[in-house]
Amino acid sequence: GNSVTQMEGPVTLSEEAFLTINCTYTATGYPSLFWYVQYPGEGLQLLLKATKADDKGSNKGFEATYRKETTSFHLEKGSVQVSDSAVYFCALRLPSIQGAQKLVFGQGTRLTINP
């Protein structure tokens, strides 16, 4: 079946530290991959995406590269800020004949950045 596995949290870092959140997936076919972020009390927001192998998604200083050979899509940021504290979700989407996007989410990783 299709599934997404993220590194377990919570993750606590100091401001300006380097961040990596690991994400690996299992899928039939060729999925698109996404990172969503959830700030406290809010819904999920798309952070970045990649649609094919070797694509790099980037946004707000975050990056992730679609690695087909390792079935991974790790999230990285060179220097985190307190405002990056949130829950991060990795997700995959398989092509759909109907057009609806059926996303499969990882369990989420809670990130806390201390000043």
Partner 1 sequence: NAGVTQTPKFQVLKTGQSMTLQCAQDMNHNSMYWYRQDPGMGLRLIYYSASEGTTDKGEVPNGYNVSRLNKREFSLRLESAAPSQTSVYFCASSLVKAGNQPQHFGDGTRLSIL
Q: Which residues, including other chains, have CB under 8 Å from residue 106's CB and lie 6 or more apart? A: 4, 5, 6, 23, 89, 90, 91
Is the Cβ of residue 4 or residue 21 nearer to partner 1 in the bound state?
Answer: 4
Does 108 engage in binding with partner 1 (CB under 8 A)? Answer: yes
Is the Cβ of residue 29 or residue 41 nearer to partner 1 in the bound state?
Answer: 41
10 prior amide bond cis, ω within 30: yes
Does 32 engage in binding with partner 1 (CB under 8 A)? Answer: yes
Instruction: Annotate each residue in 43-82 with x if it binds partner 1 (CB under 8 A) or - if it does not, as one string.
Output: xxxx--x-x-------------------------------
Does 40 engage in binding with partner 1 (CB under 8 A)? Answer: no
Is the Cβ of residue 37 or residue 80 nearer to partner 1 in the bound state?
Answer: 37
Is the Cβ of residue 19 or residue 92 nearer to partner 1 in the bound state?
Answer: 92
- Residue 47 burial (CB count, 10 A): 21
Q: Which residues of the chain form contacts with partner 1 (CB under 8 A)?
A: 4, 32, 34, 41-46, 49, 51, 89, 93, 96, 98-103, 105-108
